[in-house]
Structure 1
Amino acid sequence: MAAPEPAGTAEPPCRAGTAPYQRELERELRLPVDGRQSAADCVAIRRLQQRLRIQPADGRASLRTYRLVVADRVRRDPGARRGCPVKSYRVTCVDLTRQILWVQKGRRLVFDPVPIRTGRDGLETRRGWQRIYWKNRDHFSTIYNVPMPYAQFFNGGQALHGTRHDLFSSGSGGCVNLAVGDAKRLYALLKKGDRLYIWGTKPGTGG
């Protein structure tokens, strides 16, 4: 006869309501796609958040959760990386549509996909092939009066750099923003002259 479960091991109720990325996460989890949060949806999303260490793990179908799930899918599925050219050298892939960045050499990932924040409407991040021409670990923007840690410039004033602002709201002035920890790791990986490929359209922008 099985021993009874210790007290306190049952999952607490999941009470998050319907959120903006409900349908997308229902598709990701192969749940019935109706755009309405059910108790089963809430529990499934919460378990996904727990697996990916997304905080808060509350079962809410937020933009943050959706972007981190997309990053995980791109990491696991080579087919999800088709937009970025495969080259013999290192390419930093910036997908404006999905707001994800990764680095690959050939078909091998050398920097796992992470969420980013790119230029807002009217100040879009420039697309196409780019090249890192200057790096500055402790750069400060005199235009926007903000720190730009681990800055790697690729086109005029546009750069890859860290930010402590929310990556999942609004947009940058054209730069590719990363969480500071991700920007630090990317800074250590890339060298002056490394290539970037930027494509797609950020949702809510004109180009």
Structure 2
Amino acid sequence: MGDIRRRSVVALGVTGLVAPLALALTAAPAQSATNCTTQAGPYQKQVEKFLGRPVDGRQSAADCKAIKAFQDRNGITPDIGYAGPVTWAVMDLINQQKAVGKNPGKDGKCPVNKGRIACVNLTLQLSWIQDGRKLVYGPVPVRTGRKGYTTRTGLKKIYWRDLHHVSTLYNVPMPYSQFFDGGQAFHSVGLSMWNPPGSHGCVNMTTKDAQKYWSLLRTGDDVFVYGRKPGT
């Protein structure tokens, strides 16, 4: 397995969402002593609506607290309660994922003539397992490759599984690894699925979902990856 292990190394990502460069590099707004900004962001109303706050476009202490809590849950930095492009991009993605409901294959992109297959929609950052037209599990949110480390598209097959894999390149654990394209694999991570900007190519999952994929998939099963992750 030495050669396979060398091919099967990939790390998870740990920092902020890739946003349009001009927006992502804007200066951080002034902060109060409590590390919470008093400034309304360019996506103030959209963020207020997402969080169930009064939609008035004006920043309040309660607004900032709610925004900051969302940022902390999802690893968005700086976590100062500012309704900026990165925070709104994550919220907008969550809205799009919820809109899919229990019909992730309605776009007809993932093959229905392969029997059991794991599908990955990079555009919506969703994955599911289907058998023909029958939904077997999901859809579930996933965290795929960031810019420069994009998860490769196309029809693949799971060629190796390692329950307790550790990346020898990045020295990070990759539990429930199921490799389908070189070092790219389904595996669990201890991060929010909306933690930006993404992985180094793997399809990150929650522990619960990675365990379920492990129980449902086998070596030789098909994987189909399509779409394009925003910002890549």
Map Cα deviations across residues 70-91 of structure 1 (whole Å, 9 max, x no partner): 4443343366442212225011
Partner of 2:198: 171
User: Retained in 1: the 8 A contact 2:184–2:203?
Assistant: yes
TM-score for both structures, normalised by structure 2:
0.60
User: Retained in 2: the 8 A contact 1:68–1:114?
Assistant: no
DSSP 3-state at the match of 2:215? helix
Note if 1:182 corresponds to 2:213: no
Aligned partner (choices 147, 154, 174) of residue 180 of structure 2:
154
TM-score for both structures, normalised by structure 1:
0.67
Partner of 1:91: 117
DSSP 3-state at the match of 1:136? strand
Range with bigger deviation, 70-79 or 178-187: 70-79
Structure 2: gaps of 5 or more residues: 1-39, 59-72, 75-82
Q: Which amino acid aligns with 1:111?
A: Y
Structure 1 CA distance, aligned partners of 2:216 and 2:161? Answer: 12
Query: Percent of counterpart pairs with the same letter?
Result: 41
Partner of 1:136: 162
Change over 3 Å in CA distance of 1:37–1:96 after alignment to 2 = farther
Structure 1: gaps of 5 or more residues: 1-16, 29-34, 39-54
Shift of 1:68: 4.5
The higher-RCO structure (CA 8 Å, 6+ apart) is 2
Map Cα deviations across residues 27-85 of structure 1 (whole Å, 9 max, x no partner): x9xxxxxx9769xxxxxxxxxxxxxxxx89xxx98655544544443343366442212
Change over 3 Å in CA distance of 1:164–1:106 after alignment to 2 = same
Aligned-pair RMSD on alpha carbons?
Answer: 3.2
Change over 3 Å in CA distance of 1:197–1:180 after alignment to 2 = same
